[in-house]
């Protein structure tokens, strides 16, 4: 988070177990719980965006390939990404 960004105060309720984990991470890294939460949220958003990008790339590969073996492999990967293992 850049210092020039506008900061918005947001209230979030966390389960007690999760709040303890966040506090522990903050203590270990000698930073605030707020900073830990911001880092975790940014990492989570980046992860979701990367997952979406990978899914779309695979969908493009599926539409571009005519090899039946490759199509089957890509379909299996997409199915795992969509429905889990």
Task: Determine the Cα–Cα distance for residues 85 and 80; give it in Å rounded to an integer.
Answer: 5
Main-chain dihedrals φ then ψ at residue 21, nearest 5 degrees: -65, -40
Question: What is residue 2's predicted lDDT score, i.e. its pLDDT?
Answer: 53
Tens of pLDDT, residues 21-78: 999 999 999 999 999 999 999 999 999 999 999 999 999 999 999 999 999 999 999 9
- Mean pLDDT calculated for residue range 4-15: 90
pLDDT at residue 1 in the model: 52
Helices and strands per DSSP (H, E), number in the chain: 3, 0
Residue 16 confidence (pLDDT) above 60:
yes
pLDDT surpassing 60 at residue 7:
yes
């Amino acid at each position: 988070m850049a210092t020039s960004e506008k900061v918005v105060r947001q209230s979030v309720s966390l389960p007690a177990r999760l709040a303890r984990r966040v506090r522990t991470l903050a203590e270990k890294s000698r930073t605030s719980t707020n900073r830990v939460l911001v880092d975790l949220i940014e990492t989570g958003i980046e992860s979701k965006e990367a997952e979406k990008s990978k899914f779309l790339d695979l969908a493009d590969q599926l539409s571009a390939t005519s090899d039946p073996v490759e199509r089957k492999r890509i379909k299996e990967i997409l199915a795992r990404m969509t429905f889990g293992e």
